[in-house]
Amino acid sequence: MTPIEAAIAIPPAITLCYGLVCAGSPLGDCRKCRGFGFAMKTDRKGRPKRGKHCRRCDGHGKRIRIGRRLFNAARRTWHDATAEPAARAARKDTPPWR
Ligand SMILES: [Zn+2]
């Protein structure tokens, strides 16, 4: 395999692997609270202590991966484009980040 062939083959392989990760585990740890759901503080003696509730993940400690979010948006667009008009009108709108 020449270097050019490798340069062509590696990005689709990385994309495929990321797609498999998003399919197998669509939720990742919140990057702000690192999956705890709250911030970590220390008390005056230096011992770790529970801090404020995480507002980004609302205390769940999880976030939707970017690839899964793109997949959900594509699926929602496909569903809206192909749904019957009555079903389309009855559908509740969800915020774009869900
Ligand atoms: Zn969080």
- Annotated domain spans of the chain: 3-90
pLDDT digit string (tens) for 3-44?
899 889 999 999 999 999 999 999 999 999 999 999 999 999
Ligand 1 centroid to residue 15 C-alpha, Å: 26
- Residue 11 CA to ligand 1 center (angstroms) comes to 30
pTM above 0.85, yes or no: no
Ligand 1 centroid to residue 53 C-alpha, Å: 8
Report the separation in Å between the CA atom of 87 and the middle of ligand 1, taken as the mean of its atom positions.
35
What spacing in Å lies between the alpha carbon of 50 and ligand 1's midpoint?
Answer: 13
Residue 23 DSSP symbol: H
* Tens digit of each residue's pLDDT (9 = 90 or more) over 44-95: 999 999 999 999 999 999 999 999 999 999 999 999 888 877 766 666 666 6
Supply angle C-alpha 36, 94, 53, rounded to 5: 20
